[in-house]
């Protein structure tokens, strides 16, 4: 079969892009046609996403992609956030950003009320304050919810605007907390528990199914004729894990961007009491797989520090080079401390954390970055070791994909902290996963191992061997009270 092209729309929390992938028997070549910034917008009622602005960028990207004659389009984005449609299909209000504070307090209270064990037994989700189910509790009684007829997660909303078709793609639906993860079906009683009419939850669809043709006006605007929108693994992390170039069974992965999503792939959800206590999630993947992982605060700590310093992303590599020359283990923080979640002055909060834990706060930007890199490496170590212990997997290699694969210091420190080799890349694993699911729907690639073999054979990867003694990492973990790893 001749190679064919597919257009991936990948919306991350810090940037969005439209990527065209040409896929053949031994071929996977990417070309980015458009990249644009993304981030929170503060309005008087809290933090939001500019979804209409994002949609305009999507249309621009698709217009540029049209020159490459893609045979289909797929959309993925960050998880959990949603828009509401009224009876006429109009968007009700501006979707909230998951870092908005309206779930403060509400989330824990709601989990307690429903029962944390009961919740986990059904939805298998780690407790994060912004899980959709808790956002809906916080939104209970608002006029928008009263008028709403349909709830759409962000990629499904973009898909609706492109095609006029509603639905809920299942990998992303599994991040709502409203799904029975074993049945791969909505759990109407959980919806009812937060006062949500289950009728708002659209029909579930599986990756690889056709969503629909572009509406005549979107086809005209983008220059894409007879090009369907295909459901991909629309949770960006689900697509990223498809894009992990694993060729051996005992791998772990870290999808490292705004968040570090660190864990292993399982062939079924694992909802043990130990997994619940360790706050491990069971998110659904393609082909019946489960992403058994933990959220680690990730490069948000870097991008938000850069913002506080008034620096742009282009200034990061030079600052990281300076951080690499800073003294090791001067200070470490728990990146998942709730104080780091909301936008604001991250370097000042790191200073506070250090003072409270009897450490000398880092002074200077390079020292702050060094502290963040070691803290993230330590959190990676804890997440991967816990995943291994909870599943009995003898992890022998850690894949790092996403923007973090460009961060040489973090990749090396993660290898050192774990005492395991790290294979870094591809940076655009999410777009690759998006494209490969479309290519499979078109009959061009085989199963998940075949997709991964194609990625491994065609994408540039870099290997980091672990260096240095383990003792300082164990001591640093103990400083955070993490004796168990």
Nearest to 153 by CA among 201, 195, 188: 201
Return the residue of 64, 80, 107, 168 that touches ligand LRH, per CB under 6 A.
Answer: 80
- Tell me if 433 contacts ligand ADP by CB under 6 A: no
Q: Which of residues 401-420 bind ligand ADP (CB under 6 A)?
A: 402-404, 406-407
User: Residue 126 CB, nearest distance to ligand LRH (Å)?
Assistant: 9
Active-site annotation, residues = 236
Q: Which of 103, 171, 258, 289 binds ligand ADP (CB under 6 A)?
A: 258
Decide whether 16 or 347 has the Cβ nearer to ligand LRH: 16
Give how many residues touch ligand LRH by CB under 6 A: 13
**Virtual torsion, Cα 320, 321, 326, 329, nearest 10 deg:** 50
Name the DSSP letter for residue 358. Answer: T
Contacting ligand LRH within 273-302 (CB under 6 A): 295
237 binds ligand LRH (CB under 6 A): yes
Residue 239 binds ligand ADP, judged by CB under 6 A: no
| Nearer of residues 289 and 430 to ligand ADP, judged by Cβ | 430
Residue 347 near ligand ADP by CB under 6 A: no
- Asked if residue 58 lies in contact with residue 17, where contact means CB atoms within 8 angstroms, the answer is no
Q: Is 233 in the site for ligand LRH (CB under 6 A)?
A: no
79: contact with ligand LRH by CB under 6 A? yes
Note whether 13 binds ligand LRH by CB under 6 A: yes
Using the 8-state DSSP alphabet, how is residue 362 labeled? P
Whole-number Å distance between alpha carbons of 366 and 407: 14
Nearer to ligand LRH, 8 or 13 (CB): 13
Please state, in angstroms and as integers, the Cα–Cα distance from residue 465 to each residue in 107, 382, 417, 423, 462, following that order.
41, 19, 11, 9, 10
* E strand intervals along 145-275: 150-153, 168-169, 179-180, 185-186, 204-205, 210-213, 228-230, 251-256, 260-266
Residues 276-305 that bind ligand ADP (CB under 6 A): 299, 302-303
Let me know: does 85 contact 148? Beta carbons within 8 Å: yes
> Which of the stretches 277-285, 316-324, 348-356, 384-392 binds ligand ADP when contact is defined by CB under 6 A?
316-324
Residue 14: contacted member of ligand ADP, ligand LRH, none (CB under 5 to 8 Å, by partner type): ligand ADP
Could you tell which of ligand ADP, ligand LRH, none binds residue 299, using a CB distance below 5 to 8 A set by kind?
ligand ADP
Contact 330, 323 (CB under 8 A): no
CA distance 284 to 305: 32
Neighbouring residues of 432: CB distance < 8 A, sequence distance ≥ 6 = 21, 28, 30, 239, 242, 243, 426, 455, 459
Q: How many residues bind ligand ADP (CB under 6 A)?
A: 17
Nearer to ligand LRH, 159 or 351 (CB): 159
Does residue 184 come out as left (phi exceeding 0), alpha (psi in the -120 to 50 range) or beta? left
H/E element, 400:
strand 397-401
List residues near ligand LRH by CB under 6 A.
12-13, 78-80, 98, 235-237, 258-259, 261, 295
């Amino acid at each position: 079969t001749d190679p064919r092209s597919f257009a991936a729309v990948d919306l991350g929390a810090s940037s969005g892009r439209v990527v065209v992938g040409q896929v053949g028997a031994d071929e996977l070549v990417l070309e980015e046609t458009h990249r644009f910034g993304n981030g929170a917008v503060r309005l008087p009622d809290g933090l939001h996403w500019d979804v209409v602005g994002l949609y305009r960028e999507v249309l621009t990207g698709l217009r540029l992609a049209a020159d490459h004659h893609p045979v289909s389009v797929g959309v993925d984005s960050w998880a959990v956030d949603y828009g509401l449609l009224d009876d006429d299909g109009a968007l009700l209000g501006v979707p909230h950003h998951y870092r908005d504070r309206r779930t403060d307090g509400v989330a824990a209270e709601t989990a307690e009320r429903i029962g944390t064990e009961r919740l986990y037994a059904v939805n298998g989700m780690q407790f994060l304050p912004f899980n959709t189910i808790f956002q809906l509790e916080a939104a209970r009684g608002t006029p928008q919810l009263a008028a709403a007829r349909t709830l759409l997660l962000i990629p499904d909303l973009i898909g609706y605007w492109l095609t006029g078709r509603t639905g809920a793609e299942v990998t992303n639906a599994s991040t709502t907390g409203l799904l029975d993860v074993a049945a791969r079906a909505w759990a109407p009683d959980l919806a009812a528990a937060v006062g949500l009419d289950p009728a708002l939850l659209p029909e579930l669809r599986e990756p690889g199914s056709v969503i629909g043709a572009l509406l005549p006006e979107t086809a005209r605007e983008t220059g894409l004729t007879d090009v369907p929108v295909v459901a991909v693994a629309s949770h960006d992390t689900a697509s990223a894990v498809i894009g992990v170039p694993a060729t051996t069974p005992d791998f772990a992965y870290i999808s490292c961007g705004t968040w570090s999503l660190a864990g292993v792939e399982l062939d079924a959800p694992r909802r043990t009491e130990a997994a619940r206590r360790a706050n491990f999630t069971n998110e659904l993947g393609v082909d019946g797989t489960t992403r058994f992982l933990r959220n680690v605060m990730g490069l948000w700590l870097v991008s938000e520090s850069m913002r506080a310093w008034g620096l742009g992303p282009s200034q990061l590599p030079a600052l990281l080079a300076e951080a690499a020359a800073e003294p090791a283990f001067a200070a470490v923080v728990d990146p998942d401390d709730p104080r780091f979640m909301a936008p604001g002055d991250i370097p000042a909060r790191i200073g506070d954390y250090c003072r409270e834990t009897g450490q000398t706060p880092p002074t200077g930007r390079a020292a702050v970055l060094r502290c963040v890199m070691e803290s993230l490496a330590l959190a990676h170590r804890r997440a991967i070791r816990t995943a291994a212990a909870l599943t009995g997997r003898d992890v022998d290699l850690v894949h790092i994909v996403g923007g973090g694969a460009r961060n040489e210091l973090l990749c090396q420190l993660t290898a050192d902290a774990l005492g395991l080799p790290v294979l870094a890349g591809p940076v655009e694993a999410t777009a690759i996963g998006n494209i490969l699911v479309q290519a499979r729907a078109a009959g061009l690639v085989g199963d998940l191992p075949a997709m991964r073999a194609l990625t491994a054979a065609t994408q540039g990867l870099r290997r980091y061997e672990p260096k240095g003694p383990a003792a300082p990492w164990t001591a640093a973990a103990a400083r955070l009270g993490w004796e168990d790893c």
